[in-house]
């Protein structure tokens, strides 16, 4: 990588860097991968529980960035062996692993008195434990390489305050835990040149926030945001590039809110 002062879209700020993106075939993962590729990342490995369903999107990435190596790995982030295998294969196929973006996640909306144990465990296993398993495996690879790197978790405004009007205790807890995980790993792994940060998006216009029954909730979310709207997945990419590149080389243990100012109320 080289140092940069002013970032222009035509100037690559990554050189010989390779990344893994969990939930890589979802809205947020694809936008983040595209942003890294636009800024010069040479390889991307998209981890997803069902990458085949997004084959058209992946093919478009390959067409748009013919000089980059873009691979997919079928991975359930709850499966430690699958995660470890995908990380090892990615490092072997791409040559190194320098960036990890954790976007794999699920949401569940039920009143606390009605939350079943399996629902609770599934949400925390994917959102929190899955992020931990990926971070641990990637950190071991980065330490073996001796190159350091950047790990970015996707937390949420839900980790900072209780959502309204929907009840979603398991999701809120899973994201709050990620904030502490981020800080703990940032403290431990900085000695290896590994920076660990998180992004806390507000309400983003993705599949998780669509569907029957959410129309009234969406109206409320608009009304409680100074910008009067939800975020577009592409509006997370500036923070992604900052945290993953040398532009953010002294940012460690930070959480950056990207919520249109919704948290100011």
Packed helices 27-38 and 55-64: angle between N→C axes, nearest 10 degrees: 10
| pLDDT (mean) for 207-218 | 66
In degrees and rounded to multiples of 5, residue 3 shows phi and psi of: -70, 145
Residue 8 lies in a domain: no
Question: How far, in Å, CA of 26 to CA of 42, rounded?
Answer: 21
| Torsion of the alpha carbons at 201, 202, 204 and 208, rounded to the nearest 10 | 90
Q: Is residue 1 part of a domain?
A: no
CA distance 129 to 121: 10
> Mean pLDDT, the chain, as a whole number?
88
Mean pLDDT for 133-142 is 97
Tell me whether residue 66 is exposed, middle or buried, using C-beta atoms within 10 angstroms of its C-beta: 0 to 12, 13 to 18, 19 or more: exposed
* pLDDT at residue 8 in the model: 31
Task: Reply yes or no on whether the pLDDT at 18 is more than 80.
Answer: yes
- Candidate from 3-7, 99-103, 138-142 with smallest mean pLDDT: 3-7
Cβ(182)–Cβ(155) under 8 Å? Answer: yes
Per-residue pLDDT tens over the stretch 226-250? 877 888 888 999 999 999 999 999 9
User: Can you give the pLDDT at residue 212?
Assistant: 63
Residues 211-219, mean pLDDT to the nearest whole number: 69
Q: From the CB of residue 94, how many other CB atoms can be counted at a distance below 10 Å?
A: 22
Domain residues for 226?
18-258
**pLDDT reported for residue 68:** 95
User: Do the domain assignments include residue 86?
Assistant: yes
Q: Does residue 13 have a pLDDT over 50?
A: yes
Assess if residue 9 is contained within a domain. no
Instruction: Give the residue with greater pLDDT, 19 vs 77.
Output: 77
**Average pLDDT for residues 201-224, to the nearest whole number?**
73
Please give the share of the chain, as a percent, with pLDDT higher than 70.
Answer: 91
Q: What sign does the CA torsion over 233, 68, 87, 183 have?
A: negative
Here the tokens at position 213 are 């029954």
* Total domains present in the chain: 1
Residue with tokens 């931990």: 132
Task: Kindly report, residue by residue over 25-49, the tens digit of the pLDDT.
Answer: 888 899 999 999 999 999 999 999 9
- For a pLDDT cut of 90, what percent of the chain falls above it? 68
CATH code for position 251: 3.40.50.720
Q: 147-158 pLDDT, tens per residue?
A: 999 999 999 998
Torsion of CA 151, 156, 157, 163, to 10 degrees: -160
Residue 11 lies in a domain: no
Q: What angle do CA 89, 174, 149 make, to 5 degrees?
A: 40
Give the helix ranges, DSSP H, for 39-168. Answer: 55-64, 80-94, 117-124, 130-145
**Cα–Cα dist 111/116, whole Å:** 10
Report the SS3 class of residue 83.
helix
For the stretch 61-81, pLDDT in tens is: 999 999 999 999 999 999 999
Q: What pLDDT shows up at residue 205?
A: 78
pLDDT of res. 210: 61
Q: Does 37 or 12 have the greater pLDDT score?
A: 37
Interval 157-178 mean pLDDT: 91
Active site residues: 156, 171, 175
The angle formed by the CA atoms of residues 40, 127 and 199, to the nearest 5 degrees, is 45
Q: Of the ranges 10-14, 63-67, 105-109, 196-200, which one carries the lowest mean pLDDT score?
A: 10-14
Structure tokens at 107: 């949401």
11 pLDDT exceeds 60? no
Q: Residue 2 domain-assigned? A: no
């Amino acid at each position: 990588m080289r140092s940069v002062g002013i970032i222009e879209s035509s100037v690559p700020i990554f050189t010989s860097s390779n990344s893994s993106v969990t939930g890589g075939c979802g809205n947020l993962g694809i936008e983040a991968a595209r942003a890294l590729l636009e800024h010069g990342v040479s390889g991307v490995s998209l981890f997803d529980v069902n990458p085949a369903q997004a084959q058209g999107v992946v093919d478009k990435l390959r067409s748009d960035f013919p000089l980059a190596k873009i691979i997919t790995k079928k991975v359930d982030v709850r499966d430690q062996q699958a995660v470890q295998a995908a990380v090892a294969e990615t490092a072997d196929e791409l040559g190194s692993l320098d960036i990890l973006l954790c976007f794999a996640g699920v949401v569940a909306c039920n009143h606390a008195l009605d939350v079943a144990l399996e629902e609770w465990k599934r949400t925390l296993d994917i959102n929190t434990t899955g992020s931990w398993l990926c971070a641990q495996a990637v950190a071991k690879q980065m330490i073996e390489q001796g190159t350091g790197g950047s790990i970015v978790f996707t937390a949420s405004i839900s980790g900072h305050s209780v959502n309204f009007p929907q009840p979603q205790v398991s999701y809120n807890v899973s994201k709050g835990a990620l904030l502490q995980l981020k800080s703990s790993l940032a403290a431990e792994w900085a000695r290896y040149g590994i920076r660990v940060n998180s992004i806390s998006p507000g309400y983003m216009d993705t599949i998780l926030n669509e569907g029957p029954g959410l129309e009234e909730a969406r109206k409320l979310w608009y009304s409680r945001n100074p910008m009067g709207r939800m975020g577009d997945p592409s509006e997370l990419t500036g923070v992604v590039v900052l945290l993953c590149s040398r532009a953010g080389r002294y940012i460690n243990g930070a959480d950056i809110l990207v919520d249109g100012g919704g948290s100011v109320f």
